[in-house]
Amino acid sequence: MARTVAMTVVLTPGPPTSLDLHGSLTPAALTAALASLPPCTPTLHRHTDHHHTLTLPPPPFPAGRLSDLLTGAAAAGAEHRPAREPAGTPCTRHPECARHHGRATHPACAHHPACATHAGCATHPGCATAEPERPPPTTPLQREILLDAMTHPGAGLHVEQLHWRWYGPLDARRFTAAWQTLHAGEAVLRTALARPAAPGTGPLIAVHPHAAAELERHPRGSEDWHALLLSERMREFDLHRPGTALRIALLEEPGQVFRILLTYHQAFLDGWSARLLQRTLHRAYLADGRPLGSERRPDIRDHMHWLARRDQAPARVFWARSGAPAGAAGLPGRPDPT
């Protein structure tokens, strides 16, 4: 069962910068969030009980940080959250804690990402129940993409790329931590194909609790940019391993300039999703790789459940009426003008 969304924030850069707040907003939550930021005098406009617009001062006011605070514990209300276990309580809910530093148990803490997420958690699917979530089948579009890619191996089909330049110093540790934060928070980055339950059945989708960011750094002069673009596009994806639908390459150039290349498979990501990841990466980097707001946005599982619940009868009726009648002959194609 998906968790209830307490607050969804849509940031509009402006000018002026504004936040569209969708969800339950209390004066205490807004005051607490603003108290953690530099002093300002925002303007709040109420549309309905569950829709407000907050107009903010111009940059460098941290609008992204305010979004994280409003979608975090302060906005959701601590009284509705399960109490976190004390810092000395061994965490036994999550397998990563049992493996941490080779010890049988790892004390629940706020520093280790797995413990900070799962200690005392009663809402995360992996903690709330011991029953594993049944992997749903792939969507029709995913099956079409996968079939096309598998029948044309090495052709780079359904592989897209997004790249940009980073000017100035880049902290490799913080950059890696930011990507790992994204993988911990974004279900699609932890999604992989699951083996079919029986021979002859279609592929399934599994969202794993953990996935390591597939990040490769290329020192200055070690790789030609255009050659890197081509080699990453043509390199095969192992979509049965979590975290492999997105590859990150970092190429260093002279003068503290870096090229960042994202190569992703369209079975799980599209161009809009990649740009959202780019924006979230910058926010996570500025936060030193710490987890961002705890908002529960719809993810790949919600989309698949939505597709499964749709009534397909109206679509069948429409296409049955719109198609050619039985026995109709198709017109011959136009001759080639050349």
Q: DSSP letters of 157-223?
A: TTEEEEEEEEES---HHHHHHHHHHHHHH-GGGGEEEE--SSTTSPPEEEE-S----EEEEE-TTSS
Determine what percent of the chain is predicted with pLDDT higher than 70. 75
Tokens (6 digits) for 93: 């809910």
Q: Is the pLDDT of residue 94 over 70?
A: no
Which of the residue ranges 2-16, 68-82, 237-251, 287-301 would you say has the lowest mean pLDDT? 68-82
Which of the residue ranges 69-73, 175-179, 210-214, 302-306 would you say has the lowest mean pLDDT? 69-73
**pLDDT, tens digit, 9 for 90 and up, residues 33-82:** 888 888 878 888 888 888 889 888 876 677 777 877 887 643 344 333 33
In terms of pLDDT, which residue wins out, 9 or 108?
9
Q: What are the structural domain ranges in the chain?
A: 1-80, 83-121, 140-307
What is residue 275's predicted lDDT score, i.e. its pLDDT?
Answer: 95
Place 324 in a pLDDT band, splitting at 50, 70 and 90: confident
**pLDDT, tens digit, 9 for 90 and up, residues 109-127:** 333 444 434 434 444 444 4
The CATH number of 1-80 is 3.30.70
In degrees, rounded to 5, the angle at the alpha carbon of residue 309 between the alpha carbons of residues 81 and 201 is 105
d(Cα 86, Cα 81) in Å, to the nearest integer?
15
What is residue 171's predicted lDDT score, i.e. its pLDDT?
Answer: 94
d(Cα 198, Cα 190) in Å, to the nearest integer?
23
d(Cα 8, Cα 67) in Å, to the nearest integer?
9
d(Cα 236, Cα 324) in Å, to the nearest integer?
40
What is the arithmetic mean of pLDDT over 132-136?
A: 68
Which of the residue ranges 234-248, 268-282, 294-308, 310-324 would you say has the lowest mean pLDDT? 294-308
Q: Which of 64, 78, 63, 62 is nearest to 28 (CA)?
A: 78
What is residue 69's predicted lDDT score, i.e. its pLDDT?
Answer: 81
Q: Under a CB-based contact definition with an 8 Å cutoff, are residues 298 and 198 in contact? A: no
d(Cα 135, Cα 234) in Å, to the nearest integer?
29
Kindly give the pairing relationship between strand 214-218 and strand 246-253: parallel
What's the chain's average pLDDT?
77
d(Cα 326, Cα 164) in Å, to the nearest integer?
52
SS3 8: strand
CATH of 140-307 among 3.30.70.3340, 3.50.30.10, 2.150.10.10, 3.30.559.10: 3.30.559.10
d(Cα 242, Cα 254) in Å, to the nearest integer?
34
* Ramachandran quadrant class, 217 (left: phi over 0; alpha: psi -120 to 50; beta: rest): beta
